Amino acid sequence: MTKGLIRALSALLTALALYSLLGFLILPGIALRVANQQLANYATTPAHLQRIELNPFSLELTLWGLNIGEPGKEQVAFERLYANLQLDSLWTGALHLADIELDQPKTEILFDKEGKLNLLTLFKLPASEPTPSDPDAKPFPVRIERIKLAGGYLHFLDLRPSEPIDFLYNTLDFELKHLSTLPDDKADLTLVASGPEGGKIDWSGNFSITPLTSEGTLKVTDGQMKAWWPYVRDAVPLVLEEGVVNLSTHYRFSLAKETELLLDNTSISVAPFAIKAPDGRPLARLERLDVSQASVDLAKQQVIVGKINSQKLETWAALEADGQLDWQKLFASQPAKPAPKPEPATADTAKEPAAPSKPWQVLLKDVQLRNYQVHLADRQAKPAVALELGPLNLDLNNFDSLNQSPFSLKLDTGLGKQGKISASGEVNLNPVTAKLKVQTKDIDLRVAQSYISPFIRLELRSGMLGSDLAVDLKKVEPLTFSVAGRAEVNQLHTLDTLKSRDFVKWKQVVVEGLDYQHGDSLSISRINLMQPYARFIINDDRTTNIDDLLIPQPASSSKSSAKSAPSASKPLAIHIGEIAINDGSANFADLSLTPNFATAIQQLNGHVGTIDSRQAKPAEVDVKGKVDRYAPVTIKGSVNPFDPMAALDIATSFKRVELTTLTPYSGKFAGLRIRKGRLNLDLHYMITKGQLKAENKLVVEQLQLGEKVDS
């Protein structure tokens, strides 16, 4: 070997040794010292880097043990940061890194009550001179084959809300492959994060920097709503008792031209969920809510939901004594945020008003709500009224918030202990129209007691409402709708609360052929009265029991002004084809007599013919019954109930009436009791244009008077 070659090899070995010494020992030591000096100069909290390793041959750099923050309270830290620089960075014109690995990073994100972020206060950096931005500037070319974060720790604390928000992800793994700042290069990413209280996050997809775009899937499992609920609590005063959410969606995001965000194949489930008022009152409790086949398009401003399925929502609402809903008062109690100060108008802003924003469109294809329970209360009424709705089931199909087509609705619910309500049909939003079939069964009318008590001294002992109706809402302004069908009230029983005795009752009233045109007409083809009963009493001062039951109402200025002003609307046209009376009865008493008189009428059967408020034709009357079970009574003729002084022709016949029941009248006018006798009485009254003509025939049989009475 020649001396020149030996000297060359020696020089090469020496250079390699010096390069190795410089790369492995000297440069890492200098870099570590400089790094710690810079940390000491600029960090506002204790900061230290333990070790730096460099492999000058493979260009691998490793940083060990960075800690920024008080010992045991580090705000930023990691165990190991590894980077592998590739030599082709020298000739490709782009910084090329094969791997970046970060082991056990720790980050504390803390907002104080003033909104200051701790990460922005870790270093006191010198102010830099602003540089003009270049819209055509391109990012520095960088290619990174793989970025891996393992064993991450993230703690978030926000003291700005009224209740601090505090959550932790103590297991965080992230991997990004083929990241590049070059145009149209996409990187693949995966992220898995979980915390001790649940709320696992799985994120996978691709990511591009130039332009900024991303596409992938995001999944949240067992997310605890309590973690971020204080943000909601400060906006609306709702206290969360429990709430767990699961989310899965595919997304596309882009800032290439304008902001584009599309969520599709989205599903959300909430189970369970419960909120209450700040005073502890329950407001809503939900067993489960599932939303699937949903999409959100930010560019189109459109939300499409394929399916909504909800189970067992229980909610409470009350109308307070001041006329406001308790939910309304709850939201009104929230302190209002100060309105932002208006910006001074400039020449540009004063030229033309801003164009109205495009409304969002919400499409709901299939909504199914099952086994809902609604607790309603009306505290305006005295006593307060409690109303229970449930189990309530609702189906809604093809709902469009922009009203491009009507949607179908189907509802069935219980009301009270045994009532049932069902409705189905189509509803339109703009203009508001609806065509619904509505059926009710066994609706307990006693719930109306609190509403009639201020006007009449009457107790509703029983009464069940049923109906089969077609409701057609044509417009809201002005209100125009019609109701047609059939209705019935069964087992009605009312009690005079002054005397604790029956007032009006019946077994059944059936209204057939009902047709109501709002504000115009009410037409009924037939009313069937089954076993109706009424009590009528003349008091000793010549008033009636009806006068006693009515409660005087204070005169109001609105009513008086309404009376003084002429009514512009026409009266409601009323048409009733026939009223049928089956097995009716009544009690009559006259307490103005001494002794008092009372009698009973039973087995009333017959009918009243057509009644029409817009025609002068009187209605036919044909009713038969019995007085005190034996004496027959007939009432025949015609009458116009809307104007009886214009036309009336009524003939009444009483046969074989026991005169002993009329002793009060004989005592008053003759001073003697009636010991025995019978009466046949035929009365015929005719009124024509206000002129009365009466023909009466009285036959008394076997009359025998008795002792005198004090009269």
The residue extents of the domains of the chain are 16-122+140-203+219-235, 415-551, 593-711
Q: How many other C-beta atoms can be found within 10 angstroms of the C-beta atom of residue 84?
A: 19
Mean pLDDT on 271-288: 94
Judged against a pLDDT cut of 70, whether residue 354 lies above it is answered with no
Reported as a pLDDT band with limits 50, 70 and 90, residue 556 is: low
Q: Is the pLDDT of residue 536 over 80?
A: yes
Cβ contacts of residue 177 below 8 Å, gap of 6+?
Answer: 145, 146, 147, 187, 188, 189
Helices (H), 528-680: 545-549, 557-564, 663-670
Specify burial of residue 172 (Cβ count, 10 A radius: 0-12, 13-18, 19+): buried
Q: Are 104 and 78 in contact (CB under 8 A)?
A: yes
What pLDDT does 663 receive? 57
Q: Is the pLDDT of residue 63 over 80?
A: yes
Average pLDDT over residues 676-682: 75
Mean predicted confidence (pLDDT) in 342-363: 65
305-314, 320-329, 425-434, 554-563: which range is least confident on average?
554-563
DSSP 8-state symbol, 246: E
For residue 665, give Cα distances in angstroms to 570, 594, 695, 703, 707.
46, 8, 21, 14, 14
Per-residue confidence (pLDDT) for residue 118, from 0 to 100: 92
Is the CB of residue 542 less than 8 Å from the CB of residue 491? no
Q: What is the mean pLDDT of residues 574-579?
A: 93
Q: Return d(Cα 78, Cα 108) in angstroms, integer.
A: 12
Widest distance between CA atoms in the chain: 172
Residue among 709, 643, 707 at smallest CA distance from 671: 709
Please state the rounded mean pLDDT for residues 580-607.
81
Q: Is 166 helix (H, G, I), strand (E, B) or coil?
A: strand
What is the rounded end-to-end Cα distance, in angstroms, of the chain? 165
Look at residue 280 and tell me whether its pLDDT is greater than 80. yes
DSSP letter string, 64-83 = EEEEEEETTEEEEEEEEEEE
**Residue 524: which pLDDT band, with cuts at 50, 70 and 90?**
very high
Question: Which of 142-146, 219-223, 549-553, 656-660 has the weakest average pLDDT?
Answer: 656-660
Confidence of residue 269 (pLDDT cuts 50, 70, 90): very high
Summarize the confidence of residues 89-108 as an average pLDDT: 91
pLDDT score of 308: 97
pLDDT value of position 214: 93
Task: Using alpha carbons only, give the angle 405, 298, 293 rounded to the nearest 5 degrees.
Answer: 60
pLDDT grade, residue 131 (50/70/90)? low
Confidence at 669, pLDDT banded by 50, 70, 90: low
Average per-residue pLDDT for the chain: 86
Give the per-residue pLDDT at 81: 96
Instruction: Write down the pLDDT at residue 639.
Output: 83
- Percent pLDDT > 70 in the chain is 89
Instruction: Please say if the pLDDT value at position 249 is more than 60.
Output: yes
* 207-216, 479-488, 590-599: least confident range: 590-599
pLDDT of residue 345: 53
Candidate from 205-209, 403-407, 589-593 with smallest mean pLDDT: 589-593
For the cut 80, the answer to whether the pLDDT of residue 273 exceeds it is yes
Residue 179's closest CA among 137, 129, 139? Answer: 139
- ∠ CA 62-64-70, rounded to 5°: 150
Q: How confident is the model at residue 558 (pLDDT cuts 50, 70, 90)?
A: very low
Q: Is the pLDDT of residue 566 over 50?
A: no
Confidence band for 561, pLDDT divided at 50, 70 and 90: very low
More confident of the two residues 689 and 549? 549
Q: Please give the C-alpha separations between residue 204 and each of 172, 173, 209, 292, 330, in angstroms, as whole numbers.
A: 14, 12, 16, 20, 42
Instruction: Give the range among 10-24, 43-57, 655-669 with minimum mean pLDDT.
Output: 655-669
Mean pLDDT value across residues 126-131: 68
Residue range 613-639: mean pLDDT, rounded:
84
Q: What is the pLDDT of residue 355?
A: 58
- Residue 340 has what pLDDT? 52
Place of tokens 């520095």: 140
567 confidence band (pLDDT: 50, 70, 90) = very low
Over range 186-195, report the average pLDDT: 93
Tens of pLDDT, residue by residue over 540-551, are: 887 888 888 999
pLDDT tens digits, one per residue of 150-163: 999 999 999 999 89
> Would the pLDDT of 4 be above 90?
no
Q: What percent of the chain has a predicted confidence (pLDDT) above 90?
A: 54
